[in-house]
């Protein structure tokens, strides 16, 4: 299983150093990908690294941006792109996300493309169209990537879809992108992992809140072993 740890905008320097020490003690068969804040990336050694975002531009006059080339120089192997929090708060569009994807692939960084529908889109039954639209940016991309299905209404809410709902979406994703690994993200935790792990289609998890608690994370990983 692939387990990507999305620290989001959390863990100051000392907190992060202690956190990494705790993470390193965990014994697991899963592949852990740690996605810290940009400022913590340089502090990581001995754990597979991902970033939470990347610039859509190359190096240059783009104040505040971090390019894929610079991430690569810090040994970043994966990058989350299109997280719903960025689509929502930074108004990132599918076009922006495609540009980012291309920069990552050019720099040998595997994108973890987040897709997911809102509660309203789920309720009015337009979610499949939304997901297909989000996946359409992969139409002319040859490289295998990782896709994370994260229903927006599940992120940080404690509410997860039913297994039937997840299976329906995973089948849709895998019919469009048969070679890509697909993760589930959104309130995955120790209370629901026994139910989630009944779904064979799930290749791994993208964890937000749980990523910040190494003891609880260890329990989660033990259940996956
Ligand atoms: P959560 O976040 O696990 O806290 O719901 C997942 C994510 O946003 O990647």
CATH class as words, domain 2-224: alpha beta
Quick one: pLDDT at residue 225? 87
| Residue in 84, 191, 206 to alter for ligand 1 test, most ligand atoms within 8 A of Cβ | 206
Atom of ligand 1 nearest to the CA of 148: 9
- Our answer to whether residue 129 is catalytic in this structure is no
User: Would you place residue 223 in the very low, low, confident or very high pLDDT band (cuts 50, 70, 90)?
Assistant: very high
C-alpha–C-alpha distance, residues 50 and 35, integer Å: 4
Extents of the domains making up the chain = 2-224
Quick one: pLDDT at residue 98? 98
pTM above 0.95, yes or no: yes
C-alpha–C-alpha distance, residues 119 and 102, integer Å: 30
C-alpha–C-alpha distance, residues 123 and 182, integer Å: 23
- Our answer to whether residue 83 is catalytic in this structure is yes
C-alpha–C-alpha distance, residues 109 and 180, integer Å: 15
Query: How many Å separate Cα 89 from the centre of its chain?
Result: 17
- 11: helix, coil or strand? coil
Give the pair of three-digit tokens for residue 161: 């879809």
Average pLDDT, the chain: 98
Give the pair of three-digit tokens for residue 187: 């309130």
Give the rounded percent of residues in the chain with a pLDDT score beyond 70. Answer: 100
């Amino acid at each position: 299983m692939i387990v990507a740890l999305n620290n989001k905008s959390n863990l100051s320097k000392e907190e992060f150093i202690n956190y990494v020490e705790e993470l390193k003690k965990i014994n697991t068969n899963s592949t852990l990908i740690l996605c810290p804040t940009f400022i913590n990336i340089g502090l990581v050694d001995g754990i597979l690294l991902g970033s939470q975002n990347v610039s859509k531009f190359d190096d240059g006059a783009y104040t505040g941006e971090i390019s894929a080339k610079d991430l690569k120089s810090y040994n970043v192997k994966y990058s989350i792109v299109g997280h719903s929090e960025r689509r929502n708060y930074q108004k990132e569009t599918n076009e922006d996300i495609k540009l980012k994807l291309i920069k990552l692939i050019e720099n040998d960084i595997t994108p973890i493309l987040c897709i997911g529908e809102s509660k309203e889109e789920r309720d009015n039954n337009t979610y499949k169209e939304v997901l297909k639209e989000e996946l359409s940016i992969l139409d002319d991309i040859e490289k295998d990537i990782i896709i994370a299905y994260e229903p927006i209404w599940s992120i940080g809410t404690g509410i997860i879809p039913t297994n039937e709902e997840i299976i329906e979406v995973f089948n849709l994703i895998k019919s469009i992108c048969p070679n890509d690994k697909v993760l589930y993200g959104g309130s995955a935790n120790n209370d629901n992992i026994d139910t989630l792990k009944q779904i064979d289609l799930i290749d791994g998890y993208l964890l937000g809140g749980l990523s910040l608690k190494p003891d609880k994370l260890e329990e989660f990983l033990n259940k996956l072993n």
